[in-house]
Amino acid sequence: MIFNHARFIVDKKHPSLNKIYSSKHWTYRSKEKSKWRGIFLDMIKTADIRLNISEYELDVITNNRYDIDNDIMLIKFFNDALVESGAVKDDSRKFFKHFSITHSDEVEKHTSIINLFYR
């Protein structure tokens, strides 16, 4: 099967899982979720991704100071925006099949690349 591909460059510092998890107040988490939903919705609209994706995978390549598992918030926020955009019905395992996060010094500092593979 052939996948379609869209690439998103994130050149803003995203919150780590530790930062979200240790936040003392729900308003911080809510503000971050809204902020990143808006950023990703704009990116998704610009990418002109078709609606009703039947399945998809995400491959994230990042270069920041976080432990690799702390980059999971990037995937969570991106998935929330994919659902809200209407590109995918939901981010359950029926649609969202796989993700990977890789650190690479070849990516510019404080930058992440999200590769969306879909059909």
pLDDT tens track for 30-80: 899 999 999 999 999 999 888 889 999 999 999 999 999 999 999 999 999
Q: What is the pTM of this model?
A: 0.91
Q: Where are the domains of the chain?
A: 4-118
| CA–CA distance, 80 with 77 (Å, rounded to integer) | 5
| CA–CA distance, 90 with 114 (Å, rounded to integer) | 18
4-118: which CATH topology? 60s Ribosomal Protein L30; Chain: A; (3.30.1330)
Q: Would you say the C-alpha torsion 71, 73, 77, 79 has a positive or negative sign?
A: positive
Question: Torsion angle of alpha carbons 8, 109, 13, 69, nearest 10°?
Answer: 80
Angle at 84 between CA 79 and CA 89, to 5 degrees: 75
